[in-house]
Chain A
């Protein structure tokens, strides 16, 4: 099926150059109109955006998005900044670096006023990992932070006031490099993905430590990326070097156990690795829709999949999943690989996504349904 026959297209909104080296990751601030990106150039760049009306062209939508560079945080990390994560409040930014540290950043007071920007300061440096940090993530309430590294460990930190962090657990479950950590959207369940081809799910034992409650096996190679179904977290998507995306049904059993099984496998990136996933509620078009899953592959493509759940009237039969490709974008960053794809989480921008590429560019896109 060619792109033109698909229900929607992915249209360019902004092309943000600026990083001097490969851009690894993009993260939308959940509360403010800010987009952050990080790079092998060791910096974090922040962009602000606003809606502008384009009355001159009545054929186009009434508003479009205008992005402008806000500030660059040099970070002080001595190696690549691989990933970044905003706290749910949007006030704190965490950086995961190949220098094996996690940085915690906040903007100085006074920067809240319109037009002025306070300096971004490093409030804390979380040391503990022995080798490159690959991913960092805040829990839905912002009270916990998870990080992972090539040292095969996953660390869980409790977030205290005044940028104070306490390590709650070091999980040594994977046998290899841990590539990604992702928190459940509503509960304190953590997922991690690894070079050992598995995904692990962790729970907190109130009377003891964090522990691995389930291991998801099925991928044939490194699992690069994870994305929870955003509304209820009943499904977890994983993207792998084996070129497939798997969607797992995750069912907590009481407080202390989790059941998980693969519900569907998506293939659309040829034989190339799936590098990044992002799952948004989307703009629901039909009942049973679980939203839009965006995937970015080493084939340079970005694909938007609409995932649907079909429940049986018989409660004993588990629901099944189906998908349709809403839109596909080839050569999102020309001949360069796409390292990250991320949906904007803010209300009114559910159809906006950003990508980061090996060309050092950050690009912003919007989904438009074809007439």
Chain B
């Protein structure tokens, strides 16, 4: 990794306890499933859908590449309200958008953070989930370039064939180490 420190002294936020049960009734997309009651009757949609909190559970413990002892949640890089869904009509596909907030607008690690979120979700979610990763609007000086890079499937695929990068990625995905 680069020796340059982008944010030497990040603010650390309190975290919530890992949830063992998920607050389904209060999930924000429940309204949407009410609208499509008829669709719910057939097959796939009958089962309980993965919600915001479950996606958040998957990514909260990823460690920050610059401050390995801290998680993305502790640095408020990721949060449950920054996860949203939309389901195209007449399709079993489900689009998930995960927004994250770099700790500083010049954070050179943002591409890496986005990639680690994408890889965690690629490995954990069923194939019908299509993940879009974006930085929070206004939170990074190269916002458009970052968003473009993080959602270019060819570049993501190529990055994941880079052994040096994958090694660091695996360390971050293994979780924060004190």
Q: Would you call B41 an interface residue if the criterion is a C-beta within 8 Å of the partner chain's C-beta atoms?
A: no
Partner of B157, one of A80, A270, A331, A335: A80
B157 touches A22 (CB 8 A): yes
Which residue of A is nearest B151, CB measured?
A241
Selected A-B contacts with CB under 8 Å, 9 pairs: A40-B157, A98-B157, A150-B155, A177-B155, A222-B148, A222-B152, A241-B152, A336-B127, A359-B127
Size class of the A contact interface (CB-based, 8 Å): 20 to 34
Contact with B along A215-226 (1 / 0, CB 8 A): 000000110000
B155 touches A330 (CB 8 A): no
- CB of A57 to closest CB in B, whole Å: 30
B154 touches A335 (CB 8 A): no
Given A221-B148, A335-B128, CB of A330 within 8 Å of CB of B157 = no
Given A80-B161, A222-B148, A336-B127, CB of A331 within 8 Å of CB of B154 = no
Contact with B along A26-58 (1 / 0, CB 8 A): 000000000000001000000000000000000
Complex Cα spacing A40 to B88, Å: 28
Given A79-B161, A80-B157, A177-B155, CB of A330 within 8 Å of CB of B148 = no
Interface residues of B, Cβ cutoff 8 Å to A = 88, 90-93, 126-128, 130, 148, 152-155, 157-158, 161
B93 touches A134 (CB 8 A): no
**With a CB–CB cut-off of 8 A, which chain A residues contact B161?**
79-80, 98
- CB of B95 to closest CB in A, whole Å: 9
Partner of B93, one of A98, A195, A335, A359: A335
A150 touches B128 (CB 8 A): no
- CB of A273 to closest CB in B, whole Å: 8
- CB of B47 to closest CB in A, whole Å: 15
Partner of B158, one of A132, A222, A241: A132
Given A270-B88, A298-B130, A335-B93, CB of A195 within 8 Å of CB of B158 = no
B127 touches A82 (CB 8 A): no
B91 touches A300 (CB 8 A): yes
The 5 A-B pairs at the shortest CB distance, nearest first, are namely: A335-B128, A79-B161, A132-B158, A98-B158, A335-B127
**With a CB–CB cut-off of 8 A, which chain A residues contact B127?**
335-336, 358-359
Q: Would you call A351 an interface residue if the criterion is a C-beta within 8 Å of the partner chain's C-beta atoms?
A: no
A80 touches B90 (CB 8 A): no
Given A40-B157, A221-B148, CB of A330 within 8 Å of CB of B130 = no
**With a CB–CB cut-off of 8 A, which chain B residues contact A221?**
148
A sample of 8 more A-B contacts (CB under 8 A), given A150-B155, A270-B88, A300-B93, is A82-B154, A98-B157, A177-B155, A179-B154, A195-B148, A331-B91, A335-B126, A335-B127
**With a CB–CB cut-off of 8 A, which chain A residues contact B91?**
299-300, 330-331
Mark out the residues of chain A between 84 and 135 whose CB falls within 8 Å of any chain B CB in the assembled complex: 98, 131-132, 134
Tell me the dominant secondary structure on chain B's binding face. Answer: loop
Interface residues of A, Cβ cutoff 8 Å to B = 22, 40, 79-80, 82, 98, 131-132, 134, 150, 177, 179, 195, 221-222, 241, 270, 298-300, 330-331, 335-337, 358-359
- CB of B22 to closest CB in A, whole Å: 23
- CB of B122 to closest CB in A, whole Å: 11
- CB of A41 to closest CB in B, whole Å: 12
Complex Cα spacing A296 to B90, Å: 17
**With a CB–CB cut-off of 8 A, which chain A residues contact B93?**
299-300, 335
**With a CB–CB cut-off of 8 A, which chain A residues contact B88?**
270, 299
- CB of A193 to closest CB in B, whole Å: 12
Given A79-B161, A195-B148, CB of A335 within 8 Å of CB of B92 = yes
Complex Cα spacing A358 to B92, Å: 16
Most buried by A among B91, B127, B130, B157: B157
- CB of A242 to closest CB in B, whole Å: 11
Complex Cα spacing A242 to B153, Å: 14
Complex Cα spacing A221 to B90, Å: 27
B90 touches A150 (CB 8 A): no
**With a CB–CB cut-off of 8 A, which chain B residues contact A134?**
154
**With a CB–CB cut-off of 8 A, which chain B residues contact A336?**
127
**With a CB–CB cut-off of 8 A, which chain B residues contact A177?**
152, 155
Complex Cα spacing A281 to B155, Å: 33
- CB of A298 to closest CB in B, whole Å: 7
Complex Cα spacing A98 to B162, Å: 10
Which residue of A is nearest B154, CB measured?
A134
Given A300-B93, A335-B127, CB of A80 within 8 Å of CB of B152 = no
B148 touches A80 (CB 8 A): no
- CB of B158 to closest CB in A, whole Å: 5
Which residue of B is nearest A21, CB measured?
B157
